[in-house]
Amino acid sequence: MEIDATEPEVHDLTDPSVGALLDRVGDPRAEPGVRHLSPSSASAYSQCARRWKFRYLDRLPDPPGPAALAGTFAHRVLELLLQEDPQHRTKDRAKELARQAWPETAEDDDFIALALDDTAAREFRWKGWQAIEGLWHLEDPTTVDVVATEQRVDTMIGGVPFRGIVDRVDLEDGRATITDYKSGRAPTMRYREARLAQVLLYAAAIAEESGALPAKAKLLYLGQKVVETDVDPESVEAVTNDLATTWANVQSDCASGEFEPTTGPLCAWCPYAEQCPEGMAEVRRRHKAGRVRLDSPVVVKLLAATA
């Protein structure tokens, strides 16, 4: 059977970081619509308007899996590490901070819901540490001039109310650099521009709030590579225009109540597939044709139901 080779990068695009948790929407029974966009919600809408509705308007649960939670744990440790004085940003200090931060994850309801046995829990912690240690493959943290970590932005970009949390703002040659950590798989060239849109939007937000446009925007794919771009008015205008288009489409869909699905291989990874007839039809079609990942959550459920 042919296995679809499409990268399941949807997990990275729906990252369950604190940025996603800021996406508070109005109660659809009292105030139809959405109050703002963030990089995660805008990206989710671009992937599939129906999935966006389920998550951000209906607020159906979308619990993160082990990989996403391990990434969140790594983000927290790196946040603490980069708040240290430069000379203290060592691997040994990162291990100390990981031990201190671990209870936050261990006591989290999403982690408890995973019901990991001892072996799986050790593997979880190891993956988290690998992501943390992966920072040293990309940069020497003792040399980074950190201005802010976990900086909240809440502003208007191109007429769109925008919120988010920037992992790091650094200074390079006297100008700001927007830096965001990623624990998922680094993108191929096909997905590079889409991934960089997030940090370019953050750059636009920082510029709105500070009056100065950052010089660079970086994605640090921990343990893999740095994906970066120069920030200029043209690149910021491009992502701002895309955000404005997404905002207009969101408002239109909220007014009409029609949220068209975008079907494809990622339907097999969608937590809402069972509530979406078009999505389930797509998964069944791909499964029949032998063009779907057999380990995807929707296919696992589908096979269990027909066993």
Domain ranges of the chain: 1-260, 261-307
Q: Using pLDDT thresholds of 50, 70 and 90, give the confidence band for residue 303.
A: confident
Task: Give 277's contacts (C-beta < 8 A, 6+ positions apart).
Answer: none
> What is the model's pTM?
0.85
In the predicted model, is pLDDT for residue 16 greater than 50? Answer: no
Residues 187-217 pLDDT 10s: 999 999 999 999 999 999 999 999 999 999 9
pLDDT the model gives residue 307: 61
Mean pLDDT of 253-280: 94
Cα first-last separation, the chain: 18
For the structural domain made of 1-260, what CATH number should be given?
3.90.320.10
Task: Give 48's contacts (C-beta < 8 A, 6+ positions apart).
Answer: 261, 262, 266, 270
CA–CA distance, 218 with 42 (Å, rounded to integer)? 19
CA–CA distance, 69 with 114 (Å, rounded to integer)? 10
Mean pLDDT of the chain: 88
